[in-house]
Amino acid sequence: MPQTPIFRRLCFGTLLGLSIVTVVAAGQPVDRAAWIDSSVTATSDDPRRVPVPKGFNEPAGSIVIRNARLFDGTGAPARPAALLISGSHVLRIGASEAELAAPADAQVIDVAGRTVMPGLIDLHTHLTYVEQFGLPAATSDESQAGAALRGQERLRYYVESGVTSVRDVASHGAAPFLLKQWVASGRIPGPRVFAAGSLITAVGGHATEGEAMRTAPSYPDGAVYEASGANGFRNAVRVQFKRGADFIKLGSHFSKEEVRAAVDEAHALGLRVTVDSETIYTQTAVEAGVDCVEHPLPRSDETIRLMAKLNVCSVMTLVPYQYINAGGGYYFSTSRRFTETDAVNLAMAKKMDAAGIKIGIGTDLVVGWYRFLPEPYLQELRNYESLGKTPAQALIAATKTNAEILGMADRLGTLIPGKLADLIVVDGRPDENVEDLRKLDHVIVNGRVVVRNGRLDIPRHVEEKAPLSNFPVLNTQSIAK
């Protein structure tokens, strides 16, 4: 049966001998929480919720943050506080350090009245994109080695800017999933990575015009996957899921049957779907049940009303189009056949906000724009403020709201006991002036300090005991004889 706004899926299961019936509304992924007893089974810290051993990717030890000015992201005003981090989670928060009952060997960070707040989240990144478009495929360095190296460099720029989670909405092959694993295990510093894998579009769709990039499935490591027909789109979703996708990214163009098949398959697998689309395609995608629409691209007032009715969110990404327009415009793209100015884009964002659509913060930094950080992120916060929001509301959008859009609100986005320890320390009051985010002091991701005193912090490696360490020293003279 096709997925439509009125379709409902009944899911049956059992947990501890009890029958469970879950009713899933269209536009929502199947939630497998009903089948998981969290007191028995730990799951991965991503939307896939895969069972993992208890303590998986958990750093050892505790951290006390004393003398903090805490902006917790819940909407409450900032207040004096102390925090105790145990492993990867915030264990306790008190008005003073004395209330924490911290272990005697806990690492202590005295922030001396600086603001402690949830780490920023960027909902629209491309970690592995090449820095130049329009180059011959043979010279554009889309190899997995090049993609992984570009990704690692960009992760550094993001985390040094206070971004503790990135939602990667299209990258090359296995590279984004490997970057995610290496960050999660603490082997390289960076923000958490939530990856879609390849952008899925129809033949000749967005990002494929003019053969600018090699595409999957003919080139398996492509950042774009060209599919055809409902079964082709369904299979493309399965390919990304197999590789490790945390959500699915679609791009217009597509037929009604194609986008419905992709959404139905993704939701059955428990994944959310976001879409880069415009004009008639956005209406089609929303009717098919997508969860989010990227960019301020044109859509009708009817589409906006439907987005609000079905709780379809938006990541407005005004800043990349401001950069594009400053350089002349978005040219030679069949997926951008409309007038697009900064004023038009801002008007679209205001329409969505006025309709009550949930709006997230993302930057979409392609080519070499990541080198501008943190300015692009600050600019997008200013863009959000231009909707009539306060600095505090902009920070809540960048943390709490972004975590909700990710499907990670139970673990990220606010600083309360039980949440993951992803936080930043700022020498200022960013909830009163977002420019203060430039004064970044510390960044903690998953309970690990990755930026200390404004600089990337990589501890010396721990020497492990080598095998045969008591082996006798060789007598080279006797060997020579």
Please list the alpha-helical segments (H only) found in 165-212: 175-184
* Distance (Å, whole) CA 440 – CA 395: 15
Mean pLDDT over each residue of the chain, to the nearest integer: 91
Question: So what's the pLDDT on residue 218?
Answer: 87
Claim: this prediction has a pTM higher than 0.85: yes
Q: Which of 300-314, 398-412, 431-445, 458-472 has the lowest mean pLDDT?
A: 458-472
pLDDT digits (tens, 9 = 90+) for 68-91: 999 999 999 999 999 999 999 999
Q: Which of 4-8, 62-66, 76-80, 375-379 has the lowest mean pLDDT?
A: 4-8
Joined tokens for residue 162: 């206070």
Asked whether residue 372 carries a pLDDT value surpassing 50, the answer given is yes
Asked whether residue 296 carries a pLDDT value surpassing 90, the answer given is yes
Question: So what's the pLDDT on residue 334?
Answer: 82
Residue 406 Rama label (left phi>0; alpha psi -120 to 50; beta): alpha
Question: So what's the pLDDT on residue 107?
Answer: 97
Query: Exposed/middle/buried for 111, CB within 10 Å: 0-12, 13-18, 19+?
Result: buried
Question: So what's the pLDDT on residue 479?
Answer: 55
* Bridge partners for 317 per DSSP: none
Residue 115 Rama label (left phi>0; alpha psi -120 to 50; beta): beta
Asked whether residue 15 carries a pLDDT value surpassing 60, the answer given is no
Question: So what's the pLDDT on residue 370?
Answer: 96
How many structural domains is the chain composed of? 1
pLDDT classification of 469: cutoffs 50, 70, 90:
low
Q: Which of 14-18, 180-184, 209-213, 372-376 has the lowest mean pLDDT?
A: 14-18
Mean pLDDT of 426-443: 98
Asked whether residue 21 carries a pLDDT value surpassing 50, the answer given is no
* Distance (Å, whole) CA 32 – CA 336: 38
pLDDT digits (tens, 9 = 90+) for 389-433: 999 999 999 999 999 999 999 999 999 999 999 999 999 999 999
Question: So what's the pLDDT on residue 379?
Answer: 98
Mean pLDDT of 147-167: 97
Question: So what's the pLDDT on residue 34?
Answer: 87
Mean pLDDT of 154-179: 97
pLDDT classification of 473: cutoffs 50, 70, 90:
low
Domain holding 231, by residue range, is: 1-481
Question: So what's the pLDDT on residue 191?
Answer: 98
* Distance (Å, whole) CA 152 – CA 128: 9
Query: DSSP state, 360?
Result: E
Cβ distance 151 to 127 under 8 Å?
yes
pLDDT classification of 478: cutoffs 50, 70, 90:
low
Kindly give, in sequence order, each residue whose CB lies less than 8 Å from that of residue 60, ignoring residues fewer than 6 positions away: 87
CATH number at residue 475: 3.20.20.140
Question: So what's the pLDDT on residue 131?
Answer: 80
Question: So what's the pLDDT on residue 481?
Answer: 54
pLDDT classification of 18: cutoffs 50, 70, 90:
very low
Cβ distance 119 to 422 under 8 Å?
yes
Question: So what's the pLDDT on residue 138?
Answer: 43
pLDDT classification of 132: cutoffs 50, 70, 90:
low
Mean pLDDT of 251-262: 97
Query: DSSP state, 397?
Result: I
Question: So what's the pLDDT on residue 329?
Answer: 79
* Distance (Å, whole) CA 411 – CA 396: 15
Kindly give, in sequence order, each residue whose CB lies less than 8 Å from that of residue 3, ignoring residues fewer than 6 positions away: 26, 260, 263, 264, 267, 288, 289
What angle do the packed helices 318-326 and 342-354 form, to 10 degrees? 170
* Distance (Å, whole) CA 443 – CA 450: 6
Strands (E), 313-410: 313-315, 359-360
pLDDT classification of 8: cutoffs 50, 70, 90:
very low
* Distance (Å, whole) CA 396 – CA 118: 9
Asked whether residue 294 carries a pLDDT value surpassing 60, the answer given is yes
Asked whether residue 320 carries a pLDDT value surpassing 60, the answer given is yes
Query: DSSP state, 31?
Result: P
Judging by DSSP bridges, how do beta strands 79-86 and 89-94 pair with one another? antiparallel
Question: So what's the pLDDT on residue 281?
Answer: 97
Question: So what's the pLDDT on residue 471?
Answer: 65
Question: So what's the pLDDT on residue 336?
Answer: 86
